[in-house]
Amino acid sequence: QVQLVESGGGLVQPGGSRRLSCVASGFAFRNYAMAWVRQVPGKELEWVSTIDRTGGLTAFADSVKDRFAISRDNAKNTLYLQMNGLNSDDTAVYYCSKYIFNNGELPIYRPQEFPKRGQGTQVTVST
């Protein structure tokens, strides 16, 4: 079955950097667009970034644009999120998520089209 396992979270000082990883299994990772989303307890899920299946097309939420980078290594079935210039607003549980359609587009994020997520990894930005 589809499994997504995120890692790399932790406590980071404001202005610091962190790289998250998501190892995928149970499906042909190279055939699917992927996304990172995040959630603060009590708030709605927030889309962060999307990448197409080749890694050539990406999109970012305005709140993280120019600070975060998304990438993937299809040979390793792994998705990454490089986060720079972190601030307290970035504190959240981060999840990777799989697109439901097997095609070559860079999809607009819609939660119902990215239903599968991992267990998440907590990122806390604080002194």
Q: Is the pLDDT of residue 87 over 90?
A: yes
Q: Going by C-beta distance under 8 Å and a sequence separation of 6 or more, which residues neighbour residue 105?
A: 33, 52
The reported pLDDT for the residue numbered 104 is: 82
Contact in structure between 126 and 46 (CB atoms under 8 Å): no
Report whether 94 contacts 120 (CB < 8 A): yes
Query: Residue 69 has what pLDDT?
Result: 98
The tokens of 18 are what? Answer: 């962190």
pLDDT tens, position by position, 29-55? 999 999 999 999 899 999 999 999 999
